[in-house]
A and B are shown apart, each in its own frame.
Chain A
């Protein structure tokens, strides 16, 4: 803004600046450029997923074919049968599901309570500020830092190789996220809602349960789905805590099929793609909340 004398829009002869000039050719070129870039981005994003999908339906022969086969005319379910019937991947999937659902329930109950408390109550001094940021900072901690002591702890209380240990650990990982998300959603609801319920004779707790929770339902659902996704995807902790069929989650099962000597490409493609299916569905369910969820509620998208 070097020009110190602004042109007055009232003067019809005053220059209106470069941007106001309309250049149809340039506009058209820009539009096509933008569409080309978006098209490329979509292709670039989806192609690897397509490649995984495609390979999970290839026979071993097709998979190793050169030149590579980009379109399949004889898809086979062999890999899926191998993975889910011959090998215990159905079991791993079930474990993943149990752990994800258990974690989501616990994290949501305690996280919603804390989120409500931080959104509505006052605490002595700057306690609220400090507690909020301490909660957020626990999420910033690299998991490798807490994993070794927790491993020793779970060994001590005999919870190694159990889904319970995973649920406990994942609840801790997800709580900060749930608290910050729910805090944000509650802050958006007007206080008058609970206050009028309390004037009508309800207690504060009653107002929270009967008035606020139903209103925060979309936020709760989105937060729940994010917690499900994070627990479903988690790898490092499960790798360290579990090594048996009854506790291994899906990612661990998949990783176990890759060894230095032999890799069952078809099987891991099938298992890998199967592990993506619920996530793809979830992503489209929560699309309106995605940016918010990915930024801990900091950006409202």
Chain B
């Protein structure tokens, strides 16, 4: 804003050296672009180029393992999306996982934050411990839960057995495998929602609550009419970040179940990985990736819009 004023100041200053003077002045006047350029170029090379390349690949049949030239197949790869039952299965699993995991994390995280807010605000130590699960390497997390879920000697079955409750096969059961993975995600990410909500609650203004108290508002009324509207921006950010992350789930599934048993836990990322790497069917993998990219954009835009619409209504 006052940038032009400051460059003017620089122009007035006597130049300190002789050879570098013109270069220095050039750098100074173009500084805004020079500082931004490297990052923008790197990001463009690592995101725009792949996306574009992916786009062209998605119209081809391309298998790097066999020595035949790429063949243009038009919309063939996209047509396959409509009939590929494995793809539909992976899509359904991903959406189910995302909905269940993020939904439960949100309810737990928000309730916990509302409950303990005043008691924990200054206890950074406790907050840091709660944050450990999401910072630890996902592979280590998956290993940990593999140990816990292990049917013969895992601690979960041991614990249930001691309590006289029925034990289970968890990650290898068709009904329980997806929930086992959801549970790991809840363990990892509920603290994230909790801490985001805690930060949001800490920045709530006090006056409206005092006024509400004077009016004799109930706890629920205060939550609905004050806390929730004030928290909404933080809620949007927290849920959006979780949504993006849940939709790309890969590491934990790869270690815990490899998509099994019988692909009940196969996620989109895992299926694309398999099609591209195992079956070397790059064109089809590209078409699926584009679908994922497109739906991620649509979903996040829809979500942001919705949260903003609620905002204007309130």
Contact = CB atoms under 8 A, between A and B. Distances in A.
Interface string A253-287: 01100100000010011001101100110111001
B262 interface: no
A296 B268 CA distance: 25
A144 B272 contact: yes
B140 to A, nearest CB: 4
A1 interface: yes
B237 A295 contact: yes
Interface residues of B, number: 115
Contact of B42 (A172, A265, A276): A172
Contacts of B212: 1
Nearest to B117: A34
A175 B43 contact: yes
A194 B7 CA distance: 12
A109 to B, nearest CB: 8
Given A203-B10, A203-B24, A258-B255, A149 B53 contact: yes
B273 A288 contact: no
A254 B131 contact: no
A37 B10 contact: no
A280 B135 CA distance: 8
Nearest to B219: A19
A147 B51 CA distance: 10
B254 A44 contact: no
A199 interface: yes
Nearest to A15: B216
A204 B16 contact: no
Given A113-B35, A148-B285, A280-B132, A275 B43 contact: no
Contacts of B296: 140-142
A6 B47 CA distance: 58
B158 to A, nearest CB: 4
Contacts of A284: 128
B241 A68 contact: no
B168 to A, nearest CB: 15
B120 A38 contact: yes
B121 to A, nearest CB: 11
A9 B272 contact: no
Interface stretch (B96-104, B174-182, B193-201): B193-201
A201 B17 CA distance: 12
A22 interface: no
Interface stretch (B71-79, B141-149, B305-313): B141-149
Nearest to B116: A34
Contacts of A239: 254
B135 A198 contact: no
A144 to B, nearest CB: 5
A204 B31 contact: yes
A143 interface: yes
A77 interface: no
A157 interface: no
B66 to A, nearest CB: 15
B35 A240 contact: no
Given A138-B43, A138-B47, A283-B135, A299 B234 contact: yes
A120 B1 CA distance: 8
A81 interface: no
Interface string A10-43: 0000011111100000000001011101100110
A291 B28 CA distance: 36
Kindly state the interface size class of chain A when it binds its partner.
35 or more
A233 B135 CA distance: 8
Task: Please indicate which of the listed interface residues B31, B45, B211 has the most CB atoms of chain A within 10 Å of its own CB.
Answer: B31
B16 A17 contact: no
A66 B9 CA distance: 78
Given A38-B120, A140-B300, A284-B128, A233 B153 contact: no
Contact of A51 (B155, B199, B248): B155
B84 interface: no
A122 interface: yes
Nearest to A113: B35
A150 B140 contact: no
Contacts of B53: 149, 152-153
A177 to B, nearest CB: 11
A64 to B, nearest CB: 5
A9 B130 contact: no
A6 B216 CA distance: 9
Interface in B11-55: 13-14, 16, 24, 27-28, 31-32, 35-36, 38-40, 42-43, 45-47, 49-51, 53-54
A276 B143 CA distance: 12
B82 interface: no
Contacts of A144: 248, 250, 268-269, 272-273, 289, 292
Given A204-B6, A299-B234, A110 B38 contact: yes
B217 interface: yes
Contact of B147 (A51, A204, A294): A51
6 contacts: A1-B225, A49-B132, A146-B50, A149-B54, A152-B282, A235-B250
Interface of A: 1-3, 6-7, 9, 15-20, 31, 33-35, 37-38, 41-42, 44-46, 48-49, 51-52, 55, 63-68, 70, 110-111, 113-114, 116-118, 120-123, 131, 135, 138, 140-150, 152-153, 168-169, 171-172, 175-176, 179, 191, 194-195, 198-199, 201, 203-205, 229, 232-233, 235-236, 239-240, 250-251, 254-255, 258, 265, 268-269, 272-273, 275-276, 279-280, 282-284, 287-288, 290-291, 294-296, 298-301
